[in-house]
Chains A and B, each alone.
Chain A
Amino acid sequence: MQAIAADLFKALSDPTRRTIFEWLARDGEQTVHGLTARAGVTQPAVSKHLAVLKLARLVRDRREGRETHYSAQPRALVPLIDWMSHYGVFWRDRFDRLETLLNKMDK
């Protein structure tokens, strides 16, 4: 679980990868060529970004003839959402502890 989350954070820490992921999530399946035309970087660079996204399970690939098609797997984002909501629970718990401490402290 820890390893999956680490891959996920790493994959999404790069702005170009977030952009590519958003395109796929919003516009559906696309080829490496199509993504390269939009991204304004070289095809090897796009392929490298896609490999990192794939490792984090954020995208899935499918070969058809000479083209590889990529599609987004938004379910892979769930650990990240868990992590965000974790902070809400975290701070409420710490507020309770803070009050307990204040109650025990001298004036």
Chain B
Amino acid sequence: MTNPTAPTRTLVVEKEMPYPPEKIWRALTQAPLIEAWLMSNDFQPVIGHKFTLRTKPMPNWSGIIDCEVLVVEPNSRLSYGWESMGLKSVVAWILTPTKSGTHVRMEQSGFRSEEDASYKGASYGWQKFIGGLERVVEGLD
């Protein structure tokens, strides 16, 4: 019953920024700079490097994110696995130079539980479930 073509839930945030890709790349990949805008971390721009992002716990969220570097293409693409409270997703940064700066695109996709990854033949994927969730909740008064 596994459906590999089930749509993946993707969150996209994008913005044109008046800075060159090289500068934005530094902000995305140097640990002290990452801390200044994202969270405290032990990031290194090395594929396979495992790191942790930490912030203040919030209601319903521990504030701890376990990550692993997946893609490093300097000044262009950066991607890391992002796992928090048993839900796995992938965060990808895509930098595209423009006339006046850089188009910055962040995609967070593939929310799924840890158990899905190792549970081949599982009947219901987490994405599919999440996809149906909002419909269920919209139906509530």
Interface residues of A (CB under 8 A from B): 1-2, 5-6, 9-10, 12-16, 18-19, 22, 25, 74-75, 77-84, 86-88, 91-92, 94-95, 97-102, 105, 107
> What separation, in Å, do the CA atoms of A80 and B139 have in the docked complex?
15
A-B contact count (CB 8 A): 103
Q: What does DSSP make chain B's interface, helix, strand, loop or mixed?
A: mixed
A to B CB contacts below 8 Å, 27 in the list:
A5-B85, A13-B114, A15-B115, A15-B119, A15-B123, A15-B125, A18-B126, A19-B124, A22-B124, A22-B129, A22-B132, A74-B139, A74-B140, A75-B140, A79-B60, A81-B137, A84-B9, A86-B58, A86-B61, A95-B15, A95-B104, A95-B106, A97-B38, A98-B24, A102-B23, A102-B24, A105-B27
Report the bound CA distance from A13 to B83 in whole Å: 13
Q: Nearest Cβ in chain B — how far from A105, in angstroms?
A: 6
